[in-house]
Every structure is written in C-alpha cells, then in structure tokens.
Structure 1
Amino acid sequence: MSGHEGFSDFFYAAPDGLKLHARIYGEANSDAWPVVCLPGLTRNTRDFHELALYLSSNARTLRKVTAFDYRGRGRSDYDPDISHYNVGVEAGDVLAGLSELGIEEAAFIGTSRGGLIIHVLGALKPVMLKAIVLNDIGPVIEAEGLAHIRSYLDRNPKPKTFAEAVDAQRRVHGAGFPALSDADWSRMVTAICRDADAGWVPDFDPALVETLAGVDVTKPLPDLWPQFDALAAVPLLAIRGGNSRLLSAATLEEMQKRHPGMETTTVEGQGHAPFLETGSLPEQIANFLDRTEREVVPK
C-alpha cells in the first residue's frame, strides 16, 4: 500500500524462496521508461528515496521507479548461507523481482555494487537495459577503495544516539566528502542505519562483512572490461566522485574511449559514492533519461 512517504512496499520470493523487498514510486506512471535503482554493497532502497521522488513526482517526465533491497539488506530477509551474498545471486534476485512486476525493459541506475550487477544483467538479459547510469563504479575496482570500505566496515562503531551516528559517519567519510551539508550527513545516517535497542546500527546482515575477508587488496582485482564492452550499444551516463578511491579518473577515461557515446560527470567535493540527490544530479539524470528516450523512441 502507498503511504505518505510517496512509495509502496513490494515483497516477493527470490528463486530460492528468500523473502525480498523493493520500493515502488510513481506506480501509475506508465508513459515513459521505468527506472530501476540498485544500491551499493551494504546499502538499501533508502539511498534512492529523494532521487526516486524527484523522478516519479517532480521531473519533466514522470517515471515509475523501483528500488531494490538485496538479500541481507534493508527489509529483505537475511540469508543463512553468506555465500549467497554475491553479485550473481543478487542479479538473479533482481530479475525475479522485475519478472513479478512485469518490467521487461527499463533504465537502470546502479551505485557501486549496483553497477556491477548491471554489468551482469547486461550478460544475462541485454534487451532489458534501455539506458544506464553508473554511480562511481566501472569495470575496474581500485584495491585501495575496497580496502577503505573493508576497513570502516570492520571497525563497526556502535553509536547510541542519532547525533553519535552522524558524528561517526563524518569521522569515517568526512575527508572525502567536504561538500556535504549537515542535512546531507543526517540523511545519510537515516538511509544506512536503523534505530534499534542497541542504538543506531547498520541496516544490513553483519555477516555480509565476512564476504570481503578473503579479498586480497594488495593485488589488482579482476576487471569487467568484457562485460562493459558488451554494453557499448546502451546509452550510458557515468558519474564519478572527484575524491573517489574506487573509480579512478584513468578508468573513467578508458571507459569513454571504449564507449564513445558515454556521458560523464564528476562530482567535486564527494568521494565514493556521490549522493545522487545532491546538487544538480537529479536534473542531470532526468535530462539524460529524457534525451535518450527521445532519441530511441521519437515522439
């Protein structure tokens, strides 16, 4: 049911029966490509709330927006088998949700891990991808960036109050995000944490951190250039945080060479990954989708 927040909750069964969750915004909007939002490793649907409201309620072209909680995140069930916390399984979960919703094609917005899942979807069901927005992710993941993510997940602070939670996020991420306002930091905490008996805790299965334990961050990580090259015919907007440790400027430049039609934007004063609701990013994303759809489906 729709609530005052501007979205409805959708629950469905994964291929292995696990109960999963998604949010749907602008369900009645059917005149334009729908949008599918895929969050980062430990993130959830709330990361996209402001952007989804804009695209479904305030942009020039109103779109249906569906954002997914992967297994073990947000309102989706935790998986007792942590080996299932991987990009391949999560891509299958997304496909199962889209099938139940009757979405056969859409524009996809992927932040970090969400962008990796888009690469997999391009191999599994390429006709589904009408346009792509990659938020601070590409075919090459810098080991330094992954090491930073693993480091702050391992530290796992346990703030008791909301103010302590905001302060904890500032301490970890402040150097990479000098452009953020107080409101941005507060919104970040409400997006990635939940208020529990033990205080403000990360809204994901703690076992998820274990999936990073075996990654050797002293060596280059496997790349996805073949999968990226397979997306050459799909309109693409790549967003990079100016202070990103995960997506390098060199990788972005190589992506541009391999995908000459790709549009890029760099968000100064933000790291991994830029907040898509800040600055002019909502308008840039909406304009990219409108322009792309007009070129593919002339009115």
Structure 2
Amino acid sequence: MPADFDNGESIFVSARDGLRLHVRAFGPRHGNRMPLICLPGLSRNSRDFLGLAAHFANHPKAPRRVYAMDFRGRGLSGYDANWRNYNVMTEAEDVLSVLAALDIDRAVFVGTSRGGLVTMLLTAMRPGAIGAAILNDIGPAIEGAGLIQIRLYLKQLPQPHGWAEAVETQKVVMARAFTSLTEDDWRFEAHARFREIDGAIRPDHDPALVRTLTAIDPGDRLPTVWPQFAGLRSVPTLLLRGENSTLLSEETTGRMAAIHPALTRVDIAGQGHAPMLHTPQPLAAIEAFVGRLR
C-alpha cells in the first residue's frame, strides 16, 4: 500500500470444502472488547480495511482486535474451481469456518456491500455471533441498475501498466460518484483493487467471479433478505450510505429504519458505492458507533 498501513498478520483457515481462506489480523490478541470482523464487497478484498484496522488496532484508549477476510476467489484466498460457489451462502459458511478456527464467539461485523449481505445471512445461521453490525452501503434489497454497473465495470477492468496508470484507471471509472477523495485516497483505492502478480498489475480476484452476474437483467426483481435484516433488530446497527450510491435506494433505507427503529444512519458526502472506510467521515461515524460498545 502507498501509505504506512500495516498489512497485518496473515492467517490461513480451511473452509468446509478444504479451500484455503485468508484472513488478516491486527491489534491486541487479548482483551475484553469485541473484535471487528471486516467482510469486503463482491470483487474486493481485505486490503480495503487496512486504514480502518490501523485506527482501531492502535486506538490510544480502546484498542481492539481486528480481522479482515478475503472471501474465496479474492485476495490471498484460494480460487474455487466451480464459479457457482461464489455465492453469499457459501461465503457465510466460510465466515463460520473462520470464526470457529479463530475461536471468536461474538464480534462487531463490518460488512461492505456483499459483506453486509453475508452479515445479514449470519443472523439466521449464527445469531449469537453478531454483537453489533456496520452495513456499508448495503441493504436487504439491491438496485438492479447498480448491480449492472458493477458487472460492466468488472468486465471492462484493464490490466494497468504501472501503478500510476492503475490510479488513473480508478479515477476514470469512479470519479463521478467519488468527488471528495484526495490523491492519497485514490492511491489507496488502486492498491486495494489491484495486486502485482508475476510482475503484472492485475485485479485481485478470480476473473470467473463476473460469471455470477451474467444472467442479471436491469428489469429483474432481485432476491431480498428482509427477514435476515430483521434479525439485526436486537443488536446495535450502523448504516452508512454513499450520497451517490446506485445500489442502496432511499426507499430501502427508509424501510430499514422502520424495521429497526434503533438503526443509526449516516450519509457519506461525496462518495458512491461503497464509501471508503478509511476516509474521515465514515471513520468518524464508525468511531462514534464502536465507542458505545464494550
């Protein structure tokens, strides 16, 4: 990464089917505060959380253990020979494998986009594991147009010739929705999205991942997870929504607030899908929220 962020300790865990899962660990190994479990978006990876992890792992008053996971087919986790296993149910089962391997009973789950959907599924699969939830630009209903944009983006991702070109690539694709980023933020984004593999800078995910989106039509009614979201009513929940998000609608956020009256909502100015958690406004919102937890 371009900034002085710690990459954490790499831990490898076996999924139920034997595939190797990668997790980054940061901060104190022992303590009485709930750890943070960070789950990334569809094609993203654990490096998205390096800034957030550095903040909480090294907090001067209330340091916490932080774990950031690479879902299968992303980052340093193994690629699945069957692309159909790139689904939220399998990924939720992978999270349970990680919790068991690391002996984590209860945690604060930070879910960006896809990671937030996995968090909601866990309310049915292991409700006691969720001590609090932070949903980053995701709700129980997803806007089809936003998902189509993600598919188009993944299909067109180039192989940059150098890191400067990688930064410019991200600006071209994202600058309209992300108007408040600094040059350091753009460099962070490029180094989170891409990785140097065998001397070439490549998107850090299995190319087969895009096949999971090929059948989606803009007019389709996508599956929803409202009952699973309702499972969060008993725990503190923070919702971050990008001001320019195309994936999380005002209608959905309004319904979420009606179902979960204690939901804390923060709109992130000058950012789209999904807000970058190391930037000042979302980091301050998470700091205030986590500060109320044990």
Specify if TM > 0.5: yes
**Percent of pairs identical after alignment?**
44
The whole-number CA distance in structure 1 between the counterparts of 2:133 and 2:248 is 17
Bigger Cα displacement from structure 2, 215-224 vs 226-235: 215-224
Aligned partner letter, 1:49:
L
RMSD: 1.4
**Residue matched to 1:45:** 46
The whole-number CA distance in structure 2 between the counterparts of 1:285 and 1:181 is 20
Give 4+ residue runs of structure 1 displaced > 6 Å after superposition. none
SS of structure 1 residue aligned to 2:292: helix
Aligned length: 290
Q: CA deviation at 1:6?
A: 5.9
The whole-number CA distance in structure 2 between the counterparts of 1:213 and 1:38 is 23
**Per-residue CA distance 1:249-278 (angstroms, 9 max, x = gap):** 221111111111000100010000000010
The whole-number CA distance in structure 2 between the counterparts of 1:244 and 1:38 is 19
- With over 3 angstroms needed to count, the CA separation of the structure-2 counterparts of 1:83 and 1:177, relative to structure 1, is same
SS of structure 1 residue aligned to 2:10: strand
Q: TM-score, normalised by structure 2?
A: 0.95
**Residue matched to 1:278:** 279
**Residue matched to 2:269:** 268
**Residue matched to 1:89:** 90
The whole-number CA distance in structure 2 between the counterparts of 1:146 and 1:54 is 31
The whole-number CA distance in structure 1 between the counterparts of 2:190 and 2:43 is 13
Q: CA deviation at 1:239?
A: 0.1
Matches within 5 A, 1:1-80: 5=6, 7-58=8-59, 60-80=61-81
Matches within 5 A, 1:280-295: 280-293=281-294
**Residue matched to 2:206:** 205
The whole-number CA distance in structure 1 between the counterparts of 2:173 and 2:7 is 31
**Residue matched to 1:193:** 194
The whole-number CA distance in structure 1 between the counterparts of 2:286 and 2:110 is 9
**Residue matched to 1:124:** 125
The whole-number CA distance in structure 2 between the counterparts of 1:218 and 1:169 is 28
The whole-number CA distance in structure 1 between the counterparts of 2:214 and 2:264 is 35
SS of structure 1 residue aligned to 2:262: coil
Q: CA deviation at 1:60?
A: 3.0
The whole-number CA distance in structure 1 between the counterparts of 2:193 and 2:91 is 19
Matches within 5 A, 1:179-258: 179-197=180-198, 199-258=200-259
Q: CA deviation at 1:197?
A: 4.4
Aligned partner letter, 2:140:
P
Matches within 5 A, 1:103-122: 103-122=104-123
Q: Report if aligned partners of 1:36, 1:106 keep a CA contact under 8 Å in 2.
A: yes
The whole-number CA distance in structure 2 between the counterparts of 1:100 and 1:195 is 29
- With over 3 angstroms needed to count, the CA separation of the structure-2 counterparts of 1:85 and 1:259, relative to structure 1, is same
**Per-residue CA distance 1:204-232 (angstroms, 9 max, x = gap):** 00011111111223222121111111221
**Residue matched to 1:297:** none
